[in-house]
């Protein structure tokens, strides 16, 4: 296979990106699943290194890895019920344990523990439930001595690079169409040249012509991956967040529950992503046997119920350009002439004010029910009237007002106080 140079490859990936990314840009919300031997320790997926557990001792966990057949389908069903459109599974985290029948890595879930090809179960379940498939694969490997010796020995380096190439080739060959390859952990080689990423990624794209690749193989590829924070980027981006702000891998459900995100907190994160042109990849860390931790089920299914009524304010929306009017308790998304105001705290008043539109909308409705709401348009100020005392959204306490304008809405920031806000007057 002829390998393109970096500039050639980047030109080619840029010219084909829009087509490849279409579904992903519409999807907005995905599930990250961190599952592996570290679930048995229950103190973060970095336990091996953080607690300095010798590799031989850590590897013994594999003998008793208690994955229960069928659990992968449970993850997929939960993602579906949560309104998520894709799932990314850690097929092999930094500990080097493969969740598939690897021929190059005998340290895997078919040779040890459950003797199950979990990646096969997972990809089958995704297809069964119409879920897009993402495979996470670490570059770094704490189990393979070559991953350390590669820094000082040429033979170890060559072996390790071929090993990395083959692991990815297996994943891209044996499980049908894969939608996303989610790389992670570029230590210790830390550069595209060091990891030979150009050659490997071109092989991957040849095997999976529509695949989307993230930016963690030291090439920019298709999208950026802000981690544990939601920081918009100019390019396509996806924020990955844990469910408790603490660990990607499983931690005891009873103790983790109080740190878990509530439905409204999840919607706040999702709103920022949609408004700023990104996706949200929200993580769950299944228990040692693969079952779903209790604390994630209720918040996620409530978000799913909310999305089934309010999805129009999320899926397929473009990044918001410029500012949008609202008030101190709303967040906004936009689709052309329609503005969606996500009212995140219901203040219990019969009226709420919304500032800043130069021309009032033609209609305001409650998105979930389509109920038309009465409103009054004062100068650059809308008063929505006759609101009930209790928030009409029972899933997350986030009611969405849909404002439909005749033309593209124009926004003016505090028209009465231009001196306070730099005088952004439109009229
Ligand atoms: C970090 C961590 C890893 C986690 C990942 C998710 O790179 O090393 O444990 O899987 O972030 O983005």
List pLDDT tens digits, range 192-236. Answer: 999 999 999 999 999 999 999 999 999 999 999 999 999 999 999
Q: Which 3 state secondary structure label does DSSP give 381?
A: strand
355 CA → ligand 1 middle, Å: 41
Please tell me the distance from the alpha carbon of residue 335 to that of residue 288, in angstroms, as a whole number.
43
Distance CA 225, CA 233 (A): 9
1 alpha carbon to ligand 1 midpoint, in Å? 32
Give the pLDDT of the chain (427 residues) as one tens digit per residue: 799 999 999 999 999 999 999 999 999 999 999 999 999 999 999 999 999 999 999 999 999 999 999 999 999 999 999 999 999 999 999 999 999 999 999 999 999 999 999 999 999 999 999 999 999 999 999 999 999 999 999 999 999 999 999 999 999 999 999 999 999 999 999 999 999 999 999 999 999 999 999 999 999 999 999 999 999 999 999 999 999 999 999 999 999 999 999 999 999 999 999 999 999 999 999 999 999 999 999 999 999 999 999 999 999 999 998 888 899 999 999 999 999 999 999 999 999 999 989 999 999 999 999 999 999 999 889 999 999 999 999 999 999 999 999 999 988 776 566 555 554 444 3
| Phi, psi dihedral angles at 145 (to 5 degrees) | -60, -30
* DSSP label at residue 343: E
Greatest CA separation found in the chain? 76
Choose among 199, 182, 315: nearest CA to 238. Answer: 182
Token match 């409530």: residue?
302
Nearest CA among 411, 1, 308, 377 for reference residue 169:
1
Ligand 1 lined by 95 (C-beta under 6 Å): no
Q: Any bridge partners for residue 43, and if so which?
A: 251
| Nearest Cα residue to atom 11 of ligand 1 | 227
| Distances 252 to 45, 58, 259 between C-alpha atoms, Å | 13, 19, 11
Distance CA 310, CA 340 (A): 10
DSSP secondary-structure letter at 103?
S
- What span, in angstroms and rounded, lies between the C-alpha atoms of 376 and 346? 19
CA–centroid distance, 417 to ligand 1, in Å, is 46
d(CA 134, CA 378): 49
Please state at what angle helix 294-310 crosses helix 71-81, rounded to 10 degrees: 40
Q: Is 227 in the pocket of ligand 1 (CB under 6 A)?
A: yes
- 46 Cα: distance to centroid of ligand 1 (angstroms): 9
* pLDDT, position 423: 45
The per-residue pLDDT for range 258-313, each reduced to its tens digit, is: 999 999 999 999 999 999 999 999 999 999 999 999 999 999 999 999 999 999 99
Peptide bond into 203 cis (omega under 30): no
Q: How many CB atoms lie within 10 A of CB 174?
A: 15
Give the CA angle between residues 77, 335, 327 to the nearest 5°: 95
Residue 88: CB within 6 Å of ligand 1?
no
pLDDT of 230 reads 97
Ligand 1 pocket, residue 184 CB under 6 Å = yes
Q: What is the pLDDT of residue 356?
A: 86
Closest CA to 20 of 189, 162, 222: 222
Distance of CA 89 to the CA centre of its chain: 11
User: Mapping DSSP to helix (H, G, I), strand (E, B) and coil, where does residue 87 land?
Assistant: strand
Number of other CB atoms surrounding residue 176 within 10 Å: 12
Q: Which residue has the tokens 């071929």?
A: 162
Q: Is 45 in the pocket of ligand 1 (CB under 6 A)?
A: yes
Of all atoms in ligand 1, which is nearest to the CA of residue 136?
A: 10
Identify which of 47, 181, 248 to mutate to test ligand 1's pocket (most ligand atoms within 8 A of the CB).
248
- Index of the ligand 1 atom closest to the CA of residue 90: 10
The response to whether residue 101 sits with its C-beta less than 6 Å from ligand 1 reads: no
Ligand 1 nearest atom to the CA of residue 34, by list position: 10
Residue 222, CA atoms < 13 Å, CB-side half-sphere:
24
Name the residue at shortest CA distance from atom 2 of ligand 1: 185
pLDDT at 415: 58
* Residue of 92, 139, 184, 218 best suited for mutating to test ligand 1, as the one with most atoms within 8 Å of CB: 184
240 lines ligand 1 (CB under 6 A): yes
């Amino acid at each position: 296979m002829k390998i393109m140079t970096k500039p050639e490859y980047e030109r080619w990936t840029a010219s084909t990106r829009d087509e490849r990314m279409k579904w992903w840009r519409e999807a907005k919300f995905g599930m990250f699943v961190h599952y592996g031997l570290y679930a048995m320790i229950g103190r973060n997926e970095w336990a091996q290194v953080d607690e300095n557990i010798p590799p031989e001792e850590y590897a013994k966990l594999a003998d008793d890895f208690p994955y229960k057949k069928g659990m992968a389908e449970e993850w997929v069903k939960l993602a579906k019920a949560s309104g998520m459109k894709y799932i990314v599974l850690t097929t092999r985290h930094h500990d080097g344990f493969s969740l598939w029948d690897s021929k190059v890595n005998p340290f895997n879930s078919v040779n040890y523990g459950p003797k199950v090809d979990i990646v096969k179960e997972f990809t089958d379940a995704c297809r069964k439930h119409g879920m897009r498939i993402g495979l996470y694969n670490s570059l770094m490997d704490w189990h393979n001595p070559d991953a350390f010796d590669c820094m000082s020995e040429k033979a170890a380096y060559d072996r390790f690079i071929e090993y990395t190439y083959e692991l990815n080739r297996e994943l891209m060959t044996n499980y049908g169409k894969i939608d996303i390859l989610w790389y992670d952990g570029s230590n210790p080689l830390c550069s595209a040249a060091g990891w030979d990423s150009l050659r490997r990624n071109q092989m991957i794209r040849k095997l999976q012509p529509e695949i989307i690749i993230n930016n963690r193989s030291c090439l920019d590829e298709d999208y950026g991956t802000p981690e544990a924070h939601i920081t918009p980027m100019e390019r396509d981006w996806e924020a990955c967040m844990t469910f408790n702000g603490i660990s990607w891998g499983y931690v005891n459900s009873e103790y983790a529950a109080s740190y878990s995100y509530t439905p409204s907190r999840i919607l706040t994160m999702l709103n920022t992503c949609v408004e700023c042109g990104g996706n949200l990849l929200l993580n769950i860390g299944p228990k040692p046997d693969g079952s779903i931790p209790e604390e994630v089920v209720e918040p996620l299914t409530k978000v799913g119920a909310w999305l089934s009524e309010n999805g129009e304010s999320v899926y397929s929306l473009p990044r918001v350009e410029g500012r949008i009017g609202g008030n101190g308790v709303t967040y906004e998304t936009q689709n052309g002439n329609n503005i969606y105001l996500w009212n995140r705290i219901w203040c219990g008043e019969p009226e709420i004010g919304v500032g800043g539109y130069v021309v009032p909308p033609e209609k305001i409705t409650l998105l979930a029910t389509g109920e038309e709401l009465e409103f009054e348009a004062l100068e650059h100020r809308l008063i929505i009237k006759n609101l009930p005392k209790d928030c009409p959204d029972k899933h997350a306490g986030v009611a969405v007002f849909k404002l439909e304008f005749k033309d593209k809405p124009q926004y003016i920031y505090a028209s009465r106080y231009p001196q306070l806000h730099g005088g952004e007057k439109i009229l």
